[in-house]
Each structure stands twice: as structure tokens, then as C-alpha cells.
Amino acid sequence: MPLTSPAFPMGPYRFVNREFLIITYRTDPAVLRALVPEPLEIIDPVVKFEFIRMPDSTGFGDYTECGQVIPVSFKGKRGGYTHCMFLDDHPPIAGGRELWGFPKKLAKPTLQADTDTFVGTLDYGPVRIATGTMGYKHKSADLAAVAASMATPNWLLKIIPHVDGTARICELVEYHLQDVVLKGAWTGPAALSLTPHALAPIAELPVLEILSATHILADLTLGLGSVVHDYLA
């Protein structure tokens, strides 16, 4: 982190009108097991592909991100393990990687309503590698269930190398969404297509069956993390 010109201010980080499109799908359990680090445990062969629009965030600005989150458990607690993330704004890339260990890379995700469809896309360079669609606000979701899902813990694998390339930090980090104000949530029919890419291998977790889709609008604070497992200890 540069001494005189950091890429981001220190938190807390408040997000206003943060909008999610979350498409949950069944995938190959063997591939999933190979990608999730211990001591996290896989619950079911399920992945959540999330497109997130953030028009107003403290210190990070106006940006969009997307990625894959895997439902897991840790010491009996259920939550999500963030497998990969792609976004279009440098400060949250730098802050996410340096503070928490978010696996963020630069790409071009979008999320918008297009007439009767909620559409999320992800371009890596000139290549369209993900497209998610959902019928726009077809049915109100169970707000209590959505709020409960947003209150669960989230885990990240934070790896920082030494100057010789070996791991100097290798930790499992836990964080929570805080002070959530849920403004609305909806469900509807959905579809998701993923395209193989050498540097953004999201398609290695293939879409075998769409299970559900949720559109969420909320204000929230991204809580700073805590280390719950040190792989080098």
C-alpha cells in the first residue's frame, strides 16, 4: 500500500442502494471439492453467481462487480466462500485485496433493467464470459429469509507473498454485512450462461441446473474482517 498515495480511504464502507442479482445453480460436486479450501466444508454442489451494482459507496465510488460465491460451513456456521470476483473500479480492487483478501480482478461487469428483464453481463477484455437474466420483479421474495441470508458470515482466502514469492500471509478471513436496510427483494425465472476463459475460469464450475434467482435492493455496511484460521501457524 503506497505511503503517500493510497488507492482507498480506511473504512467503514457504507453502500447505498446496492442492487444484487443472485442466480443460484447446481454444479459438478467433484470440481467444487477441488476448489474450496479446508477447513471450509461444502454443504451442497451449489454456486451463487452474483451481479452487484453499487452506485454510491463510501470511498470506493460508483462501480459494478460480479463473481461466484459457494455456500459452505465453518465450525458449524453456514455462510459463503467467495471464489472469484470481477469489477471495474481500482479502489475497491485494491482495498478488497489488501484488507480482506477478496479475489478481485479488473473486468467489465454490468447490471441493469432492460424493459421486462434484469440483465447482468461480464466482459473480460473483448470476450463476453457471463450473461445472467431474470424476469424483472415477477414476485416478491420472503424478506425475512433474504435478511437472514444476508446476515450469515462470509469467508475469504487471503494470500500475500513474501519478496521471494513464498506465502508470507495465508489466512482464512471472516467478514459480515452490517447495518443492513433491506429495501426490497424479488424472485423470477432466470437463466445463466458461462463461457470458458484462460484468465477468468468461471466456467470451470458448470451450470447444470438453475435453482433460483433473487433481486435485492439494500443499504449496508461492509464490515472489516477477522482472521479465523492461519494456515502458516
Residue 94 grid cell: 485494491
Question: What is the amino acid identity at position 95?
Answer: G
Among the listed residues 75, 77, 104, 105, the single catalytic one is: 104
Distance of alpha carbon 147 from alpha carbon 166, whole angstroms: 40
104 carries an active-site annotation = yes
Residue 216 grid cell: 435485492
Pair 186, 215: CB distance under 8 Å: yes
Pair 29, 63: CB distance under 8 Å: no
Distance of alpha carbon 220 from alpha carbon 183, whole angstroms: 11
Distance of alpha carbon 78 from alpha carbon 44, whole angstroms: 12
Residue 65 grid cell: 462487480
Residue 66, Cβ density class (10 Å: 0-12 exposed, 13-18 middle, ≥19 buried): buried
The bridge status of strand 167-175 relative to strand 41-42 is unpaired
**Bridge partners of residue 139, in order along the sequence:** 187
Pair 157, 172: CB distance under 8 Å: yes
Distance of alpha carbon 198 from alpha carbon 22, whole angstroms: 24
Beta strands (DSSP E) in 58-116 are 61-74, 77-87, 104-106, 108-114
Q: Provide the annotated active-site residues.
A: 104
